[in-house]
């Protein structure tokens, strides 16, 4: 541990994990109260940052830190007497220097450097934050840090909250949506609040993952505006296999959150995820009704939407998330009219536009009941087609593979499934249609121009700042 344990309740955001250029930050945990506000400022200015989030050193953690230094583009160390005394800060500086990383030292206060520190730091650029006023410091940082470390657009401004009791499966669900879930390495319990600008199913999201331990819930309700305020969408995750007393505790937690929303004239969308619904057994079906009754009673007349989810039923989570996001970013009526007009004109059964991660942008169902079953198969169909692009599949009765597009048709009896990829800059959109007339496939092809225009408008709705020059 770097001198002393950092206050995890003040961690400003989740560390960056990805392949784009990022900044590694080294600091002494004793300085966390001074360092975290600076990291928060960099984050708000769209810099990608990796830091240790106040976690104590351990054997496996050392390897992750070493890897994070090795792959970083820029290295910042916050210097102070506590940092100078920390052997971990010294090891990080030494390793970054050995790898010839660009290093910036930021002095939090006047700090005499031991010879070994002075030898390493003196050859790199330093900023004496304590000697500058706020404006001078910000301008110096702006000039010093490369623009390549920034995201292309501002962090999304709509707060998405994941709440529920501990061990309900919130963290696993988030990792699953990010396609980073590994059953062999289950996630550690959420430590207080983990905030991050995430990309979920290809959609930028500002997420707040609230740890569900009782000691944390007491802190949330002590400062509800700080933790619940300005929420646009809440996923409240309930482990449907839990004991009755835990269900009642979850219902009370939900009741408290909704009371805050009511008292402050806020009405975010609330999705109740009846999680770990792994099979349709009589016992779980009974539990489902029990949970719905409990949650509806706690909510009073507050509108709730229920979904059965499970990491073992892969399509359940993307379908739930797609529904929620379509409510959050309500598709304008003119877009809904366009897809309905296309669907009616070609007399098809179902039509869906979905991104490569399984996020449903828009859908048309001629028959709502049968269309619902089709909708739940979207992620599986996308996965099927994705695999097909990698390897030839004899399941397809027709295939057109050209430089500018992919198209495939999968036929069972009189029913045909048409797959088509619509290409945009850095984004691929899948069009999947179900037709029961032989002429339907050609009719859809004739509407591809209108469908692609609609897909582009939908991308602009869901991805802030997205623009393709004409």
Dihedral pair phi/psi, residue 424, rounded to 5°: -135, 170
Residues 6+ apart with CB under 8 A from 416: 397, 409, 410, 434, 435, 436, 438, 440, 441
143, part of any domain: yes
Domain shared by 409 and 322, yes or no: no
The number of beta carbons lying within 10 Å of the beta carbon of residue 376 is: 14
Least confident of 88-92, 310-314, 412-416: 412-416
Tell whether 379 and 449 lie within a shared domain: yes
Residues 291 and 346 in one domain: no
> Same domain for 140 and 184?
no
What pLDDT was estimated at residue 398?
Answer: 47
Overall size of the chain counted in residues: 470
Residues near 144 by Cβ (< 8 Å), separated by ≥ 6?
104, 125, 127
Q: What is the pLDDT of residue 3?
A: 38
Q: Is it the case that residue 329 has pLDDT exceeding 90? A: no
* Dihedral pair phi/psi, residue 409, rounded to 5°: -125, 130
Q: What is the pLDDT of residue 200?
A: 72
Query: Looking at residue 274, which CATH number applies to its domain?
Result: 3.40.50.300
Picking from 99, 128, 149, the residue at the C-terminal end of a domain is 149
Mean pLDDT, rounded, for 211-222:
92
Element (H, E) at 134: helix 134-144
Last-in-domain residue among 123, 149, 175: 149
Query: Does a structural domain hold residue 312?
Result: yes
Residue 54 maps to a domain: yes
Whether 228 has a pLDDT exceeding 50, the answer reads yes
CB 467 within 8 A of CB 152: no
Percent of the chain residues past pLDDT 90, beyond the cut: 29
Q: Is residue 2 part of a domain?
A: no
**12 and 52 share a domain?**
yes
Whether 426 shows a pLDDT value over 80: the answer reads: no
Higher per-residue confidence, 298 vs 157: 298
Helix, strand or coil for residue 268? coil
**Are both 68 and 124 inside the same structural domain?**
yes
Q: Is residue 1 part of a domain?
A: no
Q: What are the Cα distances from residue 197, in Å, to 141, 159, 190?
A: 22, 10, 16
**340, 241: one domain:** no
Q: pTM for this one?
A: 0.58
Burial of 241 (0-12, 13-18, 19+ CB in 10 A): middle
The predicted pLDDT at position 182 comes to 77
Residue showing tokens 């010839």: 100
Q: What is the CATH number of the domain that holds 401?
A: 3.30.450.30
Same domain, 74 and 173: no
Average pLDDT, the chain: 80
Q: What is the mean pLDDT of residues 357-371?
A: 69
Residue 16's pLDDT is what? Answer: 82
Helix (H, G, I), strand (E, B) or coil at 195: strand
- Rounded Cα–Cα distance for residues 161 and 179 (Å): 19
Residues 201 and 322 in one domain: yes
**324 lies in a domain?**
yes
Residue 24 domain boundaries = 8-149
Same domain, 321 and 362: no
Whether 469 is in a domain gets the answer: no
Residue 276 burial (C-beta neighbours within 10 Å; 0-12, 13-18, 19+)? buried
Task: Specify if 428 maps to a domain.
Answer: yes
Burial pattern 104-130, b for ≥16 Cβ within 10 A else e, equals: bbbbbeebebeeebeebbeebeebbbe
Same domain (yes/no): 358, 456: yes
Among residues 328, 351, 373, which one ends one of the domains? 328
462 backbone dihedrals φ, ψ, rounded to 5°: -95, -25
Mean pLDDT (whole number) for 378-395: 52
132 vs 152, higher pLDDT: 132
Q: Would you place residue 393 in the very low, low, confident or very high pLDDT band (cuts 50, 70, 90)?
A: very low
State how many domains the chain has: 3
pLDDT at 181 over 80: no
Task: Tell whether 456 and 385 lie within a shared domain.
Answer: yes
**Considering only CA atoms, which of 363, 369, 386, 373 is closest in space to residue 454?**
363
What is the model's pLDDT at position 198? Answer: 67
| Of 443 and 332, the one with more pLDDT | 443
């Amino acid at each position: 541990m770097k001198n002393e344990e950092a206050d995890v309740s003040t961690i400003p955001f989740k560390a960056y994990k990805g392949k784009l250029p990022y900044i590694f930050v080294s600091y002494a945990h004793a300085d966390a109260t001074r360092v975290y506000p600076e990291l928060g400022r960099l984050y708000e200015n769209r810099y990608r940052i990796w830091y240790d989030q106040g976690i104590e050193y351990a054997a496996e953690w050392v390897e992750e830190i070493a890897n994070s230094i090795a792959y970083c583009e820029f290295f910042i160390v916050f210097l102070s007497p506590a940092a100078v005394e920390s052997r971990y800060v010294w090891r990080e500086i030494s390793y970054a220097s050995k790898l010839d990383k660009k290093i910036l030292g930021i002095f939090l206060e006047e700090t005499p450097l031991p010879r070994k520190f002075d030898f390493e730091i003196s050859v790199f650029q330093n900023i004496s934050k304590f000697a500058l006023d706020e404006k001078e410091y910000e301008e110096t940082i702006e000039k010093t840090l490369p623009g390549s470390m920034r995201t292309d657009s501002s962090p999304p401004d709509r707060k998405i909250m994941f709440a529920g009791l501990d061990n309900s499966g919130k963290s696993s669900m988030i990792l699953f949506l990010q396609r980073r879930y590994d059953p062999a390495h289950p996630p550690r319990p959420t430590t207080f609040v983990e905030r991050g600008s995430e990309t979920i199913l290809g959609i930028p999201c500002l997420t707040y993952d609230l740890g569900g331990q009782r000691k944390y819930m007491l802190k949330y309700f002590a400062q509800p505006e700080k933790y619940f305020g300005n929420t646009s969408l809440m996923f409240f995750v309930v482990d449907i296999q839990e004991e009755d007393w835990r269900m009642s505790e979850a219902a009370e937690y939900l009741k408290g959150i909704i009371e805050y929303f009511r008292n402050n004239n806020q009405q975010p969308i609330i999705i109740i995820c009846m999680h770990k619904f792994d099979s349709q057994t009589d016992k779980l079906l009974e539990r489902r009704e029990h949970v719905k009754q409990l949650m509806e009673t706690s909510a009073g007349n507050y509108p709730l939407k229920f979904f059965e989810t499970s990491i073992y039923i892969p399509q359940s989570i993307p379908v739930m998330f797609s529904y929620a996001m379509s409510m959050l970013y309500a598709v304008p009526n003119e877009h809904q009219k366009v897809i309905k007009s296309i669907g009616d004109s070609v007399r098809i059964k179902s039509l869906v536009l979905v991104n490569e991660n399984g996020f449903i942008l828009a859908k048309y169902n001629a028959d709502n009941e049968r269309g619902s079953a089709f909708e739940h198969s979207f992620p599986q169909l996308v996965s099927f087609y994705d695999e097909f692009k990698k390897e030839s599949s004899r399941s397809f009765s027709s295939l057109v593979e050209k430089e500018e597009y992919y198209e495939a048709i999968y036929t069972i009896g009189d029913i045909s499934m048409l797959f088509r990829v619509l290409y945009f800059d850095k984004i691929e959109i899948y069009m999947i249609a179900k037709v029961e007339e032989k002429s339907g496939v050609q009719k859809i092809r004739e509407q591809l121009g209108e469908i692609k225009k609609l897909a582009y408008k939908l991308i602009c709705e869901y991805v802030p700042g997205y623009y393709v020059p004409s």
